[in-house]
């Protein structure tokens, strides 16, 4: 799985919502991941988080449901009970940070599976998890999100399948 990346909800959501400030970046990065044949791994907890964000903040039930069908091509992984215990311990250790359980679980999975995280969230830096970065139009590893000069990387199956225009919504 060393050529795989673990997706965070931020890029997954941004790909779907053309009004999101990170939309273009997410689509570019997804296309780059596809070109480089990088496998995108999505934790079920991230799947639930992203679905909820799309449902509530973006386009509603129809788009959220379509997104679930589109993402079925991704590699989905179920965090173990131990992943949740380690994530809870991580949150206790970083009590001064507003880190969600979703992100702590993703960080725990990324560490256990030795995967980089495709994210725009600086909390992964705080949790000391390797994140994906774009340098010279190529994907690379980077230990921090905050000091990147180029966009970070996201990915999902087919960008053209995920981006729905308002006119397509019934």
168 belongs to a structural domain: no
pLDDT at 40: 92
Tokens of 147: 């000091």
User: CB neighbours (10 Å) of residue 21?
Assistant: 9
List the structure tokens of 153. Answer: 């990387």
Does residue 141 fall inside a structural domain?
yes
pLDDT of residue 25: 95
* Structure confidence at residue 4 (pLDDT): 93
What tens-digit pLDDT sequence spans the chain (170 residues)? 458 999 999 999 999 999 999 999 999 999 999 999 999 999 999 999 999 999 998 778 999 999 999 898 789 999 999 999 999 999 999 999 999 999 999 999 999 999 999 999 999 999 999 999 754 445 555 444 433 322 333 333 333 333 333 333 33
Residue at 33 is within a domain: yes
Asked if residue 147 is part of any domain, the answer here is: yes
Predicted local confidence at residue 134, as pLDDT: 58
Q: Give me the pLDDT at residue 154, please.
A: 36
At 134, which CATH number? 3.40.50.1010
pLDDT, residue 144, reads 41
First to last CA, the chain: 39
Q: Containing domain of residue 131, as a range?
A: 4-163
Question: Is 156 domain-assigned?
Answer: yes
Q: How many structural domains compose the chain?
A: 1
CA distance 153 to 27: 9
- Specify the pLDDT at position 135: 47
| Cβ atoms 115, 5 nearer than 8 A | yes
The pTM of this model reads 0.77
């Amino acid at each position: 799985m060393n050529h795989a990346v673990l997706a965070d909800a931020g890029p997954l959501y941004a790909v779907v919502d053309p009004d999101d400030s990170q939309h273009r970046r997410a689509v570019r990065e997804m296309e780059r991941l596809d070109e480089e044949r990088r496998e995108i791994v999505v934790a079920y907890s991230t799947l639930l988080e992203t679905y909820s964000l799309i449902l509530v903040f973006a386009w509603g039930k129809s788009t959220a449901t379509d997104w679930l069908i589109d993402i079925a091509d991704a590699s989905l992984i179920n965090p173990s009970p131990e992943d949740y215990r380690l994530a809870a311990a991580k949150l206790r250790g970083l009590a001064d940070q507003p880190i969600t359980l979703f992100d702590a679980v993703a960080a725990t999975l990324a560490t256990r599976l030795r995967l980089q995280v495709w994210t725009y969230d600086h909390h992964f830096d705080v949790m000391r998890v390797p994140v994906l970065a774009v340098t010279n139009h190529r994907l690379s590893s980077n230990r921090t999100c905050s000091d990147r000069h180029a966009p970070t990387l996201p990915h999902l199956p087919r960008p053209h399948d995920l981006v729905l225009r308002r006119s397509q919504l019934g």
